[in-house]
Amino acid sequence: MTWNVLVGRCPLESIRSEYDDWATVTVADEYDSPEALEADLPTFDAIVLGGIELTADRIERAENLKVVTSPGVGVDPVDIGAATEHGVIVCNNLGANTRAVAEYSITAALAVRRELRRADRNVRNGVWDKFDYMNTEITEGTMGVFGYGAIGRLVSELAQGLDMDTVAYDPYVEGFAEGVEPLESKHELFERADSVGVHAPLTDETRGAIGETELYALGEDGVLVNASRGPLVDTGALLDALREDVIHGAAIDVFDEEPAPADHPLFELDNVLVTPHMAGSTATSVPAKHRGAAENIRTVYEGSVPETTINRDELCLRAAHGGEGPDGDARPF
């Protein structure tokens, strides 16, 4: 039996070859309107995230849905509770874009520290003053990592390669690499670090975790890089900190709403570098992300459960109680 797979934003036509002999692929961009996509939700067996939000209502209407996978790490667009209730496997793809995001974090911290955006604009406008950018060198400071998963670990490793001291905060991690100092609190991280890379997942606990208190602790020489999810950082507090020179600057790759509106107030500021959620997108990482997503779906198609399943324990518990959701939904786990 052939499956129907919906793939979110994907620039690669070649990704269809991953599904050639066992699935029919529809890319979300092929739809003329959101309403047309909504109407087809009940026809899909699997969905690859990418600009697709799966609310409880949509999951309920997607009556044939068996698996949802992220091509990367984040699964925050999915109501995981609703997916579990309906027997839908939710999984991600660890490692495919780890190096891409880590490289971005270090690159962006350097660019903001050295004010490359302002320097570029000034040269283009005929302003040539090479002594107007005499900031501290990044190797003179400390790199802090908020969220010490695979990306955070590699950011720390790359920072050490630049002779930076490295500190990290993650209350859910016990083992830290040699040379990385684990800290006891989020506040201590922002006090100790000169540059902070945000690499934690978006959860109820981390939403809004970085606000006025943390930014004041980071201080006037501080640089914040957010390449995780927009809502981890309080945008209002960040705007105030940038406008009032509470911190030196920021690099923002992710926003509360994406695409970010054209009149976003961050765009008016010289001390912020903004990019279109591209930290994890390289010529190497994007194909790897979508190959991994296809492998996850193929695993479910063949009757198994991907190793990266987020709701494995909850689904097992559901199966132990008869495999039915609250309304008698008996979609197979």
Instruction: Write out the catalytic residue numbers.
Output: 229, 258, 277
Q: Which residues contact 318 (CB under 8 A, 6 or more apart)?
A: 84, 85, 87, 324, 325, 333
CB contact at 8 A, 225 and 250: yes
Helix (H) or strand (E) holding 67: strand 67-69
User: What's the CA angle centered on 100, arms 95 and 106, to 5 degrees?
Assistant: 120
Q: Which residues contact 202 (CB under 8 A, 6 or more apart)?
A: 74, 76, 228, 229, 231, 232
Virtual torsion, Cα 202, 57, 40, 300, nearest 10 deg: 60
CB contact at 8 A, 42 and 66: no
Q: What are 84's two structure tokens?
A: 């579990």
CB contact at 8 A, 18 and 10: no
CB contact at 8 A, 276 and 259: yes
Q: What are 140's two structure tokens?
A: 């003179």
Q: CA-to-CA distance for 90 and 79, rounded, in angstroms?
A: 10
